[in-house]
Amino acid sequence: MALDISFYSQDINRVNTIDISDDFYEWLAKSEFSKIGVAEKKDIEIDGEPEQVDVVVLDWETRRKYSDFFRDEIVKEGDKVLEQLGDSPSKEEYSPFYSRLKLLQDLRKQIENETIKYLGRLE
């Protein structure tokens, strides 16, 4: 089952959605990520249908906390990669690490994009 994290502009239009795995979602749910910000219900239109979604307002402080969280996790993941892969890793060896690092980096970039005003967080 694929889950996603959605990012919204000021007028609550979906700007971007990033697919995440069940394992990654579970990890996020147990991490500090789930403790940042408070979700509130917002009315939006998805595929022409009105829906209420839980979003976190990305004010300056909340955005900074999410950004710091992802930056810290990117550093930790980078350290893990360097420890486990050695000098000449094959594509098969580094591929799982690359995917996770790329996902963390993509999420960080969305959080730091100031046109994004809301994070649609699965509760």
The pTM score is 0.83
What's the rounded Cα separation, in Å, for the pair 20 and 2? 6
* pLDDT at site 1: 46
Model confidence over 30-57: pLDDT tens digits?
999 999 999 999 887 767 777 888 899 9
Question: Higher-confidence residue: 100 or 97?
Answer: 100
Check: CB of residue 120 under 8 Å from CB of residue 15. no
* pLDDT at site 112: 97
pLDDT > 70 in the chain, percent: 83
Rounded mean pLDDT, 64-68:
98
On average, the pLDDT of the chain sits at 85
Exposure b/e, 45-62, CB count within 10 A at least 16 = b: eeeeeeeebebbebeeeb
Confidence of residue 15 (pLDDT cuts 50, 70, 90): confident
